[in-house]
Amino acid sequence: MKILHTSDWHIGRSLYGRKRYDEFSAFLDWLAEFIQTESVDALLVAGDIFDTSTPSNRSQELYYRFLCKVSASCCRHIVVIAGNHDSPSFLNAPKELLRALHVHVVGSITDNPEDEVITLTGPSDIPEAIVCAVPYLRDRDIRIVEAGESIEDKNTRLIDGVQKHYAEVSRVAEEKQREYGDIPIIGMGHLFTAGGKTIEGDGVRELYVGSLAHVGEEVFPACIDYLALGHLHVPQKVGAAEYIRYSGSPIPMGYGEATHGKSVVIVEFSNDPQSKITLHPVPCFQALERISGGIDKITESIHELKSKGSNAWLEIEYTGTEIAGNLRELIDEAIANTAMEIRRIKNKRVVERAISRTCKNETLDDLDVNDVFIRCLDTYEVTEDERPALIQSYKEIITSLHEEDTNAG
């Protein structure tokens, strides 16, 4: 059986205000064709299908059109789990209809672990693999908040909750494996594991406040033959385990990812559960170029891209020693009559000068939610010994807001 593992599509994401629907459409068209060319039997999508819990009509159109196209191909099964960006109720809403197309959707956990265990069958309806389709586990799904608990207590209960849930779902899978014979058990998940690599600007959120570095490979049951993970955008294995992998995002979410190769994972099972794992590169559908330096370096780089007929979207950071008040005009002139677009210009000298005086020119683009809170603490002259507890509580509130399912109810 040949299985394709992908995740973190983030359909609907924009880049500094620029919609990227053409990129998402091109990727999904490529993926559908790749599935057919490679004779893939099952597709696993490990969360963050959409970038927000309220995807646009265009985002939904791309998603459902892709599912219909692939379900009519050689691919017999599609398994989709929710990520932390997805709305569980939105993904779950059409699950009964999608099941007729052999699309299995798990948006959230239920009281019954069997709801997360899916049997993948072959052409003659003979079971060929069992999938433990564990969606993103929200804090409230896996632990009970207790008054007066310490940060260490919270972390311990979170990890115990993740481990317990995987154990319960895997127990059901093992029962089915004993019934069906020695077929592989494939796990899925959307979480942050120990030692996971991230990239500046990728937008990967903290999932469990304070516990990012503690979800190790030992949390997952030994019965799993391959674990398809989502959440981290860099393709990578977990620790030394070749069979526990992040496929990574197929499209660069920001300029920090633009120089890193994107891929999907093909996992092949033959007569035994031992898998053959292969990474396949995903083409670049829209070039992103980051240019940093003085005026001469910036214009030289633009002219070099221009000579190659580039259609790149540019992020430009001016780091020269002189104050370049006409920077925008110079760059507009340099890219005139090309297909290139300017997505962002950071005039580091102007920003530094302004911040050093009054901070008037500092914008929210230069700050994240944690930076804003720290500024509030500074403004109210909160002492250093009072800050850790306040920052911890603040991060928990932000995480809770991200987990709110706006489509539920």
Q: How confident is the model at residue 198 (pLDDT cuts 50, 70, 90)?
A: confident
**210 and 66 fall within a common domain:** yes
Cα angle vertex 64, ends 230, 104, to 5°? 55
Can you name the residues that pair with 293 across neighbouring β-strands? 318
**Contact between residue 82 and residue 190 where contact means Cβ atoms under 8 Å apart:** yes
Domain that holds residue 294: 288-403
Residue at 260 is within a domain? yes
E strand spans, 304-381 = 313-318, 341-347
Report the range of poorest mean pLDDT among 16-30, 318-332, 353-367: 353-367
Could you tell me which residue, 408 or 133, shows the higher pLDDT?
A: 133
- Residue 399 has which token pair? 């995480």
Can you name the residues that pair with 79 across neighbouring β-strands? 44, 104
Distance CA 167, CA 316 (A): 48
* Percentage with pLDDT > 90 across the chain: 62
Question: For the segment 176-190, what is each residue's pLDDT rounded down to a tens digit?
Answer: 999 999 899 999 999
pLDDT at 235 over 90: yes
Q: Tell me, what's the pLDDT at 277? A: 95
Residue at 409 is within a domain? no
**13 and 160 fall within a common domain:** yes
Question: For the segment 297-307, what is each residue's pLDDT rounded down to a tens digit?
Answer: 999 999 999 99
Domain boundary among 281, 308, 339: 281
Distance CA 13, CA 351 (A): 27
Report the range of poorest mean pLDDT among 205-214, 215-224, 373-382, 400-409: 205-214
The per-residue pLDDT of the chain, averaged, comes to: 87
Question: For the segment 327-347, what is each residue's pLDDT rounded down to a tens digit?
Answer: 889 899 999 999 999 999 988
Q: Tell me, what's the pLDDT at 35? A: 98
Distance CA 184, CA 273 (A): 5
Average the pLDDT over 157-168 and give the result. Answer: 91
pLDDT at 364 over 70: no
Provide the number of structural domains found in the chain: 2
Tell me the CATH number at 384: 3.30.160.720
**247 and 313 fall within a common domain:** no
Average the pLDDT over 35-58 and give the result. Answer: 96
User: What is the 3-state secondary structure of 226-290?
Assistant: EEEEECCCCCEEECCEEEEEECCCCCCCCHHHCCCCCEEEEEEECCCCCEEEEEEECCCCCCEEE
Q: How confident is the model at residue 233 (pLDDT cuts 50, 70, 90)?
A: very high
Distance CA 244, CA 163 (A): 15
**310 and 199 fall within a common domain:** no
pLDDT at 357 over 50: no
Give backbone dihedrals phi and psi of 146, rounded to 5 degrees, phi first. -125, 140
Domain boundary among 230, 263, 281: 281
Distance CA 51, CA 59 (A): 9
Average the pLDDT over 253-261 and give the result. Answer: 89
Domain boundary among 262, 281, 300: 281
